[in-house]
Amino acid sequence: MPEGDTVWLSAKRMHEALAGDVLTTTDFRVPRHATADLTGRTVCEVVPRGKHMFTRLDDGLTIHTHFKMTGSWRIVDIGKRWNGGPAHEIRIVLGTERRTAIGYRIPVIEIIDTDRESDIVARLGPDLLGPEWDLDEAVRRLREQPDREIGEALLDQRNLAGIGNVYKTEALFLIGLTPWTAVGDVAKLDRLVALSQQLMSANRDHWPQATTGNIRRGEEHYVYGRGGAPCRRCGTRIRRAMQGPKAEDRVSFWCPSCQAGPAPMPAATTPA
């Protein structure tokens, strides 16, 4: 699932590609806005808020998109062919005289009044990559539910916005606690949140993501995606298990030696 840093980088590229230019083509391939035509408007700016993206136009409208599990924006120069995948999975096209932005497999697309963006943002906790990042407020929100498992609480965008499963998993490894630890038992909650923010900040300007500092394929993460492989620190086999109700988005990895705290019995784990 794309995390906040992916959305941040994507918004930056969208902004560079479209801001200041007039839309010459718009194509909304979603039932709700199938007849919408926003040509003639100028793109003012493209901004990320948590995992949401707002493409602001000069007439007080905003195109709100959210990648969820599948989405992405691709920029194609005029005259170049689209070769990014099946065309029927394209959900939105925004074109200027210079470039075309193609929204691929994006599940959330809506046209809203720009001053209604705040309704969406109001539901979010402090934005890890936002201009008003507030560590104390994020920690305060997490502490309101001390019995909740930290792995679940960190992913709740009402506590802090932008974090996803990769950074959750890696930050918990670095702090030495399992994802099943109760929030109330995390002694260094502020350090954990600061660490999550630092990992995302360090990755927001480039791809691929790497929490280890090494972007070589297979070396990017400490435990994420490494079920069954030896821990980089101690050699113990990394374990993998599902956490929470939406299992496909909630696979957790941890080192049973480096990370203290509760964890599922081995029978409940699945191989990598």
List residues near Zn ion by CB under 5 A: 231, 233-234, 236, 255, 257-258
- Residue 250 is a catalytic residue: yes
Residue whose CB is less far from Zn ion, 66 or 237: 237
Q: Which residue of the chain is nearest Zn ion when measured via CB?
A: 231
The minimum distance between CB 227 and Zn ion, in angstroms, equals 13
Phi/psi zone of residue 11: left (φ > 0), alpha (ψ -120 to 50 degrees), beta? alpha
137 assigned to active site: no
Is 188 among the residues known to form the active site? Answer: no
* Between 11 and 172, CB nearer to Zn ion: 172
One of 3, 152, 170, 220 is an active-site residue; which one? 3
User: In the bound complex, what is the minimum distance in angstroms from residue 239's beta carbon to Zn ion?
Assistant: 10
The least CB distance from residue 31 to Zn ion, in Å, is 49
- The question of whether 248 is a catalytic residue gets the answer no
Q: Which residue of the set 41, 48, 49, 51 is catalytic?
A: 51
> CB of residue 258 vs Zn ion: minimum separation in angstroms?
3
In the complex with Zn ion, which residue's Cβ is closer, 43 or 258? 258
Which residue lies nearer to Zn ion by CB, 67 or 254? Answer: 254
Which residues does the annotation mark as catalytic? 2-3, 51, 250
